[in-house]
């Protein structure tokens, strides 16, 4: 009995020492300091903590996300979100979805309300089976045949309809719920596709601490602090809609700097 407790205390001591050593290495900036790939080898939470202190890195990431996938202008919703949750696999997922959307409401300062039909909605969240998702992906690419293999991380889809001025008037998110794609996997896909729907068409390098980084579902079960800064920046009224990357960068810099200052004040 006593020997068991000695073991427990020894493990706790080792665990505590390793944690303190990790923290010291982080503070000393000895973990992976090599420029653009500075987040590559860091553990997820360390990458996130480093990133929210790095205004330059955040600005680069913002540009990659907001102007990724060929987007020429800044886009976002500018009306309250009217959310419809549907699809044959929706049962049991409403609470998770509404919890994520409450966070979206806080970060964007948009009102979010649930509506009972797709016709009233400007944000449709559909939980579907494997075949339905594949067909949706094929039709969004203008292909008649859904093909044999789904593309990487394609257990979700976000189709966003921006107007030429950058205002998003509607978005449809489809999430596969089938087989092993259940539970936390659904949450991961939900946060990834929500970021697309809110106005981020791009994907960052997989090393970045974002729900949009592919092959990192561990990040994606919630918005990271980095993601939250991205959303707050995109929805800050100081960033005019429909502008190009260059104009947006100038407007985004003071916003991101302020958000970083808040993080620094809290963690130092
Ligand atoms: Zn994606």
- 131: CATH: 3.40.390
Residues 100 and 185 in one domain: yes
Residue 252 lies inside a defined structural domain of this protein: yes
**Distance in Å, CA 197 to ligand 1 centroid:** 10
Residue 46 lies inside a defined structural domain of this protein: yes
Whose CA is closest to 124, among 141, 135, 136, 109? Answer: 136
Tens-place pLDDT, residues 162-177: 788 999 999 999 999 9
The C-alpha atoms of residue 223 and residue 230 are separated, in whole angstroms, by 10
Residues 93 and 180 in one domain: yes
**Distance in Å, CA 143 to ligand 1 centroid:** 19
More confident residue, 74 or 39: 74
**Distance in Å, CA 243 to ligand 1 centroid:** 23
Residues 152 and 215 in one domain: no
User: Is residue 92 within 8 Å of residue 182, measured between CB atoms?
Assistant: no
Work out the angle at residue 161's Cα, subtended by the Cα atoms of residues 211 and 134, and round it to the nearest 5 degrees: 65
- Name which of 57-61, 192-196, 207-211 the model is least confident about: 207-211
Residues 113 and 181 in one domain: yes
Q: What is the residue range of 138's domain?
A: 81-198
pTM of the model: 0.82
Residues 54 and 146 in one domain: no
First to last CA, the chain: 42
DSSP 35: G
- Name which of 2-16, 61-75, 203-217, 238-252 the model is least confident about: 203-217
DSSP 76: B
User: Is residue 190 within 8 Å of residue 100, measured between CB atoms?
Assistant: yes
Residue 188 lies inside a defined structural domain of this protein: yes
- Considering 142, 170, 198, which residue would you say is the last residue of a domain? 198
Residues 215 and 148 in one domain: no
Tens-place pLDDT, residues 77-131: 999 999 999 999 999 999 999 999 999 999 999 999 999 999 999 999 999 998 8
Residues 104 and 189 in one domain: yes
Per-residue b/e over 88-109, b at no fewer than 16 CB within 10 Å? ebbeebeeebeebbebbbebbe
- Considering 181, 198, 215, which residue would you say is the last residue of a domain? 198
If you average pLDDT over residues 158-165, what whole number do you get? Answer: 86
**Distance in Å, CA 192 to ligand 1 centroid:** 6
Work out the angle at residue 81's Cα, subtended by the Cα atoms of residues 93 and 60, and round it to the nearest 5 degrees: 95
Sequence-separated (6 or more) residues with CB below 8 Å from residue 206: 213, 214, 215, 216
pLDDT above 60 for 31: no
Residues 106 and 124 in one domain: yes
- Considering 198, 224, 257, which residue would you say is the last residue of a domain? 198
Residue 107 lies inside a defined structural domain of this protein: yes
Residue 168 lies inside a defined structural domain of this protein: yes
Residue 27 lies inside a defined structural domain of this protein: no
Residue 6 lies inside a defined structural domain of this protein: no
Residues 192 and 217 in one domain: no
The C-alpha atoms of residue 203 and residue 66 are separated, in whole angstroms, by 9
**Distance in Å, CA 212 to ligand 1 centroid:** 6
Residue 237 lies inside a defined structural domain of this protein: yes
Residues 180 and 108 in one domain: yes
């Amino acid at each position: 009995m006593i020997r068991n407790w000695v073991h427990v205390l020894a493990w706790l001591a080792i665990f505590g020492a390793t944690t303190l050593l990790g923290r010291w290495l982080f503070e000393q900036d000895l973990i992976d300091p090599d420029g653009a790939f500075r987040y590559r080898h860091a553990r997820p939470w360390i990458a996130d903590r480093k990133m929210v202190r790095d205004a330059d890195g955040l600005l680069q990431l913002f540009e990659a996300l907001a102007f990724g996938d060929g987007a020429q202008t800044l886009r976002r919703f500018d009306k309250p979100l009217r959310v419809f949750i549907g699809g044959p696999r929706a049962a049991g997922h409403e609470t998770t979805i509404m919890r994520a959307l409450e966070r979206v409401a806080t970060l964007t300062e948009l009102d979010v309300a649930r509506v009972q039909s797709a016709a009233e909605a400007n944000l449709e969240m559909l939980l579907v089976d494997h075949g339905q998702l594949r067909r949706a992906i094929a039709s969004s690419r203008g292909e008649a045949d859904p093909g044999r293999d789904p593309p990487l991380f394609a257990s979700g889809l976000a189709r966003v309809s921006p107007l030429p001025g950058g205002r998003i008037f509607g978005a449809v998110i489809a999430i596969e719920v089938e087989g092993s794609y259940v539970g936390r996997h659904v949450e991961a896909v939900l946060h990834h596709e929500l970021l697309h729907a809110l106005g981020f068409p791009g994907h960052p390098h997989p090393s970045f601490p974002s729900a949009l980084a592919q092959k990192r579902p561990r990040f994606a079960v919630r918005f990271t602090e980095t993601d939250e800064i991205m959303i707050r920046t995109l929805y800050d009224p100081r960033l005019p809609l429909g502008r190009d990357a260059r104009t947006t960068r100038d407007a985004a810099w003071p916003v991101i700097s302020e958000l970083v200052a808040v993080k620094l004040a809290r963690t130092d």
